[in-house]
Amino acid sequence: MKKCIVLVSRQSFSAEHKSNSASLEAIFNAKKIKREEVDGSAEENTQLRNDLFSISGIRGTYPQVFFQVEGSNTPQFVGLFDAIQ
């Protein structure tokens, strides 16, 4: 089974990041897709955020979507909002 991880920033000052995050949340809710949200702006998530940035190769752009297969330690990058919509 796959787990969906969404990297967001609750402290983003970018209107585009906020809009894309809200739109992605609406899409996932409509399709009843369960996900774990990681707030990349939260201090306690700094290491996980940096790990996810390293996997995607993209820093500072939100939201980012990942899937993690059960039993795997490393999530796989799916894409940014544009790839999901």
Question: How many residues in total does the chain contain?
Answer: 85
pLDDT bracket for residue 83 (50, 70, 90) = very high
Q: What is the pLDDT of residues 7-45, one digit of tens each?
A: 999 987 889 999 999 999 999 999 999 999 999 999 999
> What pTM, to 2 d.p., does this model score?
0.92
On whether the CB atoms of residues 40 and 7 are closer than 8 A, the answer is yes
Q: Are strands 64-69 and 76-80 parallel, antiparallel or unpaired?
A: antiparallel
Report the CATH number of the 2-84 domain: 3.40.30.10
What is the number of alpha carbons within 13 Å of residue 70 lying toward its C-beta? Answer: 2
Residue-range domain boundaries for the chain = 2-84
